[in-house]
Copies of this chain bind each other. A is one copy, B any other.
Amino acid sequence: MFVENQWIKIKAPATVANMVCGFDILGFAVNNPYDEMEMRWMTRANNEPSIVIINIDDYQLPTDPEKNVAGAALLALLEEYEEKAGVPKIKFEVKINKLIKPGSGVGSSAASSAGAVVGANYLLGTIFSKDDLVRFAMNGEKVASGVKHADNIAPCIFGGVTLVRSIFPLEVVALPSPQLHVTIVHPQIEVRTSDARSILKQQVLLKDAIKQWGNIAGLVAGLMKSDYDLIGRSLEDVIIEPVRSILIPGFDDLKKACKQAGALGGGISGSGPSIFMLSKTKEIALAVEKEMNQLYDGIGLPHHTYVTTINQAGVEVEA
């Protein structure tokens, strides 16, 4: 175990879930933005709480561990830890400085829960596997959105591009990918994950599903072959995007402009409202950013952009 009472620093990256055609199964981590956290452990007396959350930022997120995404993830981890190891009884203190705006659609809640469990595992001497950590962190997602999903958690913990082949039982597959530049725009509107989910149809046409799984297979093959054109052609979503994009102002025009500027493709990040685009070079990614700014400036919608790359490391700990 790591030294008692001594703080470690944690960097937890933002993540893009779904990756256009891979609804609920694909995701990737980016190098910017990211959350900063600090954590330490100490021996817990019987009457003490096992988790103390300290918010450094101004988002006024709940500090009650059961209502806080990092707290809920740590509670799940501690429960299994105490069954496994038991002694000494552990208490975690966690300082969270959210630089990823909650509700932006780039895995803000996942960063907190993933960062917390990776940090805790480091403090405890790395006794849990990455799969275990994803499992624990999914409890944070349940607090945030009511659903235990792993499409942000998995890339946040593993880094790179990940496939959640199965959720019960959990199986995460790391997918090799070539260097990809990512442009993200966060229009300052609110899209609730629960709303974005409730407008989806429960049934889809078999012929659309076949198109979708052709694209998913193409995207996985394109990533693993470093075939940029195949990646670009496969970044098409005939099921979710046509429904969800109506929640995001200017979506179709923005996507068209970004592709004309040279982007391989892109779409809604998670359930939105952020939109991401993938490009082969930094120059194209910057040209894509310009298009995004122009379009949202044009309709007077406040927004924020990031030009970054795929993060291959996942959550990082500095002792």
List residues of chain B with CB within 8 A of the CB of A219: 217
Closest to A230 in B: B173
Which residues from 151 to 168 on chain A have a C-beta closer than 8 Å to any C-beta of chain B? Answer: 163-166
A3 proximal to B (CB < 8 A): no
Closest to A24 in B: B210
Q: Determine whether the beta carbon of A216 is less than 8 Å from that of B218.
A: no
Q: Determine whether the beta carbon of A233 is less than 8 Å from that of B165.
A: yes
Which residues from 75 to 120 on chain A have a C-beta closer than 8 Å to any C-beta of chain B? Answer: none
Which residues from 169 to 208 on chain A have a C-beta closer than 8 Å to any C-beta of chain B? Answer: 171, 173, 175, 200-207
Q: Determine whether the beta carbon of B201 is less than 8 Å from that of A204.
A: no
List residues of chain B with CB within 8 A of the CB of A209: 204, 209, 212-213, 239
Q: How many copies does the complex hold?
A: 2
In the complex, how many angstroms separate the beta carbon of A40 from the nearest chain B beta carbon?
38
Q: Determine whether the beta carbon of A217 is less than 8 Å from that of B165.
A: yes
> Residues of A within 8 Å of B, CB-based: how many?
39
List residues of chain B with CB within 8 A of the CB of A171: 218, 233
Q: Determine whether the beta carbon of A221 is less than 8 Å from that of B175.
A: yes
Q: Determine whether the beta carbon of A206 is less than 8 Å from that of B213.
A: no
A214 proximal to B (CB < 8 A): yes
Q: Determine whether the beta carbon of B214 is less than 8 Å from that of A217.
A: no
Q: Determine whether the beta carbon of A210 is less than 8 Å from that of B23.
A: yes
**Bound form: Cα–Cα A164–B209 in Å:** 14
Q: Determine whether the beta carbon of B22 is less than 8 Å from that of A218.
A: no
A32 proximal to B (CB < 8 A): no
A25 proximal to B (CB < 8 A): yes
In the complex, how many angstroms separate the beta carbon of A166 from the nearest chain B beta carbon?
6
Q: Determine whether the beta carbon of A218 is less than 8 Å from that of B23.
A: no
Interface string of A58-73 (1 = CB under 8 A from B): 0000000000000000
A134 proximal to B (CB < 8 A): no
13 sample A-B contacts, Cβ–Cβ < 8 Å, listed by A number? A25-B210, A25-B213, A166-B218, A173-B221, A175-B221, A202-B206, A203-B203, A206-B239, A213-B213, A216-B216, A216-B217, A217-B217, A220-B221
A26 proximal to B (CB < 8 A): yes
Kindly identify which residue among B22, B202, B212, B214 contacts A205, using a CB–CB cutoff of 8 Å: B202
**Bound form: Cα–Cα A23–B224 in Å:** 22
In the complex, how many angstroms separate the beta carbon of A66 from the nearest chain B beta carbon?
28
A50 proximal to B (CB < 8 A): no
